[in-house]
Structure 1
């Protein structure tokens, strides 16, 4: 099995998506607030999933349709297609669903514009933090103290890395 540097795959995916090179890396910037980070990262992930579906089916004409489908609807959205076509595994689908839930919570109430992800995680009880870790962890199949601490004390960085993993996986899945 070939080894890949996921950090090198994301710019290749950005090129395929037709977005400005370095967009993903720009989200790892302290000047970007957490609300904006979540909204922009979700948009990138959603575009990548639409691209994955279009490329997998080999029908460029479906790109506009897939771009308009709800992301996480498990019966009629992109998530349903991803699962039915076996394009992403359970952990990757769970990450997308959880990310979409968080994004929806933030985008549908403008009062969340000052959302702070670290504060959000800090206010969770231990069971909620374990669920957050399970839902957003694409970094390691083994949950070490380092992984647990990253998600607890620097959740934005953890989500950025997990997003990199997902985007890298998407890129690899569309390659011949």
Structure 2
């Protein structure tokens, strides 16, 4: 079998420049693979992210995204509150039960502790925005068939939610809403992208060291 020869040291190899579409595809692939590790580590189905993305409607999509974010938030908070004495974590079980009993909103909430734990502000803002939309869907079954962008447009805190979800420094709100209306999958992808970033953050700071081998093999 003939071995491939490396080019001489003085010869520059021209690498194919990635198109924006290629870069987006590569980013999505890496995020999906990393998010799989989180899902397996907390006992969820490996391909859950793909299944959520293809949810039959936005109502189902948002409720599942919010449930994932709540799980990730709890893991991040638990990790941040661990007390280590003489190389041993103490009160882990009691602490876990305490965190699991906390509400997402309010003065003594998971969101407040998430911000205090060092989670990037854009991520905690995203979690809060998704929870607001989730509550709107969950508390009114009549909205079950309403498209997500239409629900957001009806809200008095529309601008805050758009800012929390899009995570773009500078944008024209009218143009951004129009792009979400034109392509509902684009809005879903933006939400999924931000969700996977938080899952990866939770996995690496809270779960990776004691994750099952199957979580690592998913990558």
Which of the five TM-score ranges fits, normalised by the shorter chain? 0.7 to 0.9
1:36 counterpart residue number: 60
Please, what TM-score do these two structures have when normalized by structure 2? 0.64
Cα distance in 1 for residues equivalent to 2:191 and 2:73: 17
The unaligned stretches of length 5 or more in structure 2 are 1-26, 83-90, 210-219
Cα distance in 2 for residues equivalent to 1:84 and 1:92: 13
Q: Does 1:164 align with 2:196?
A: yes
The unaligned stretches of length 5 or more in structure 1 are none
Runs of 4+ in 1 over 6 A off after TM superposition: none
What SS class does the counterpart of residue 115 from structure 1 fall into? coil
- Counterparts of 1:48-67 in structure 2, within 5 Å, are 48-58=72-82, 60-61=92-93, 62-67=95-100
Cα drift, residue 152 of structure 1: 5.2
Say whether the 8 Å CA contact 2:123–2:194 is kept in structure 1: no
Structure whose CA Rg is larger: 2
Say whether the 8 Å CA contact 1:49–1:170 is kept in structure 2: yes
Please, what TM-score do these two structures have when normalized by structure 1? 0.77
Q: RMSD between aligned alpha carbons?
A: 3.0
Q: 1:133 aligns with which of 162, 178, 184?
A: 162
Say whether the 8 Å CA contact 2:76–2:117 is kept in structure 1: no
1:97 counterpart residue number: 128
Cα drift, residue 22 of structure 1: 1.3
